[in-house]
């Protein structure tokens, strides 16, 4: 496990540049071997990696009119024994007044993954269980309102790689509540399309299959506690599917530097019931470095997986 940090200073008023580095090591009771990824070998996150996260504000004499984001990393692909090039965020956003419009590789408007950037965290979200995509190529629109948010997106339905084989994914989400003001956000999502079978950059099924999912999600903050719930049901790649996701966390120490979490997930695909139970701890050493631990029990295989991570994110 390794972490590389950079202390090279650079300042600018119209952009932010961060160096992202992480070390990940795990142990599986099923294989009785060490590995260097968090849960699934083919998934993009989390693996030992080094990269940059760049965000540039676009402005004119009239003020800001948009932004450009690029997040790239070089990750160690343990099963293939090689480095893998990963392009994560890559989008242009335009402030149209009535809405924020984006084009590129960004979050589809579906569920909790559309509003929380959890790519550096160990605990898996529903896209890692095969429900939707954490990032996808396409376009979208989002408008913040006094009472909440409305978001739409039309993407390829291929996740990390760009594929055009008759595949597409249309998503919409409406949310009531603003977290910073109301301490809660209650959302409803609808997803429809023909999507490919993808895990990370690996396309495991090039045949577009029908997906139609409805979901509700809730984020609720109270004192030191955080609750996140998501329920999704419908047809996922041609099969009847349902998923129930719960993450309960508590923030301890000054400024919540220590976070403890527990996460049960239950899902059913084609009549087959599955579940997992995960727990995690995260300690923010300083503004640049976090140490994390996860234990995940897979109810289908009986595997106990233990993972440690050191995650560095430093402004350059």
Contact present, 170 and 190 (Cβ < 8 Å): no
Q: In whole angstroms, how far apart are CA 10 and each of 15, 47, 94?
A: 10, 27, 26
Per-residue pLDDT reduced to its tens digit, 47-81:
999 999 999 999 988 788 999 999 999 999 887 88
* CB atoms closer than 10 angstroms to residue 227: 14
Q: Given this model, what pLDDT does residue 62 score?
A: 79
Of the pLDDT bands very low, low, confident and very high (cuts 50, 70, 90), residue 13 is: low
Per-residue pLDDT reduced to its tens digit, 90-139:
999 999 989 999 999 999 999 999 998 887 899 999 999 999 999 999 99
Q: Given this model, what pLDDT does residue 16 score?
A: 95
3-state secondary structure 115-132: CCCCCCCCCCCHHHHCCC
Closest CA to 134 of 103, 170, 154, 110: 110
Q: Helices in the chain by DSSP H: which ranges?
A: 179-182
Contact present, 309 and 2 (Cβ < 8 Å): no
Contact present, 314 and 18 (Cβ < 8 Å): yes
What is the average per-residue pLDDT within 15-43? 93
Of the candidate ranges 7-16, 121-130, 189-198, 208-217, the one whose mean pLDDT is the lowest: 7-16
Name every residue whose Cβ is closer than 8 Å to that of residue 315 and which is 6 or more positions away in sequence.
Answer: 16, 17, 18
Most confident of 1-10, 125-134, 288-297: 288-297
Q: Given this model, what pLDDT does residue 235 score?
A: 96
Name every residue whose Cβ is closer than 8 Å to that of residue 250 and which is 6 or more positions away in sequence.
Answer: 224, 225, 226, 259, 260, 261
The rounded percent of the chain whose pLDDT value lies above 90 is: 83
Residue 251 pairs with which residues in a beta bridge? 259
Buried-exposed string 232-269: b where 16+ CB fall within 10 A, e elsewhere: bbbebbeeebbbbbebebebeeeeeeebebebbbbbbb
Closest CA to 267 of 302, 232, 305: 232
Q: In whole angstroms, how far apart are CA 171 and each of 108, 215, 274?
A: 7, 11, 26
How far apart CA 170 and CA 157 sit, in angstroms, is: 8
What is the average per-residue pLDDT within 164-178? 96
Q: Which two tokens stand for residue 92?
A: 């242009």
What is the average per-residue pLDDT within 22-29? 96
Torsion, CA 202, CA 42, CA 204, CA 213, rounded to 10: -100
Mean pLDDT of the chain: 92
Is the pLDDT at 12 greater than 80? The verdict is no
């Amino acid at each position: 496990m390794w972490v590389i940090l950079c202390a090279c200073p650079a300042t600018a008023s119209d952009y932010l540049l961060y160096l992202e580095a992480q070390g990940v090591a795990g142990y599986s009771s099923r294989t009785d071997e060490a590995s260097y990824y968090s849960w699934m070998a083919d998934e993009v996150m989390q693996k030992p990696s080094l990269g940059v996260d760049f965000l540039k504000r676009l402005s004119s004499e009239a003020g800001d009119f948009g932004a450009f984001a690029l997040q790239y990393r070089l990750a160690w692909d343990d099963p293939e024994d090689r480095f893998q090039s990963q392009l994560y965020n890559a989008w242009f956003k335009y402030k149209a007044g009535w809405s924020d419009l984006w084009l590129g590789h960004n979050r589809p408007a579906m569920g909790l993954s559309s509003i929380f950037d959890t790519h550096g965290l160990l605990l898996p979200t529903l896209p890692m269980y095969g429900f939707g995509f954490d990032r996808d190529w396409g376009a979208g629109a989002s408008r913040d309102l006094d009472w909440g948010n409305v978001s739409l997106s039309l993407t390829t339905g291929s996740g990390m790689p760009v594929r055009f084989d008759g595949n597409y994914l249309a998503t919409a989400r409406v949310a009531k509540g603003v977290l910073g003001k109301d301490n809660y956000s209650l959302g409803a999502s609808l997803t429809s399309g023909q999507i490919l079978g993808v895990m990370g950059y690996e396309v495991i099924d090039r045949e577009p299959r029908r997906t139609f999912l409805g979901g509700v999600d809730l984020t609720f903050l109270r004192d030191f506690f955080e609750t996140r719930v998501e329920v999704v049901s419908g047809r996922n790649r041609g099969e009847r599917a349902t998923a129930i996701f719960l993450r309960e966390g508590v923030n301890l120490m000054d400024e919540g530097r220590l976070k403890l979490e527990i996460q049960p997930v239950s899902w059913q695909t084609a009549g087959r019931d599955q579940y997992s139970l995960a727990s995690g701890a995260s300690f923010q050493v300083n503004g640049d470095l976090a140490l994390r631990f996860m234990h995940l029990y897979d109810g289908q295989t009986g595997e106990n997986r233990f993972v440690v991570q050191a995650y560095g994110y430093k402004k350059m």
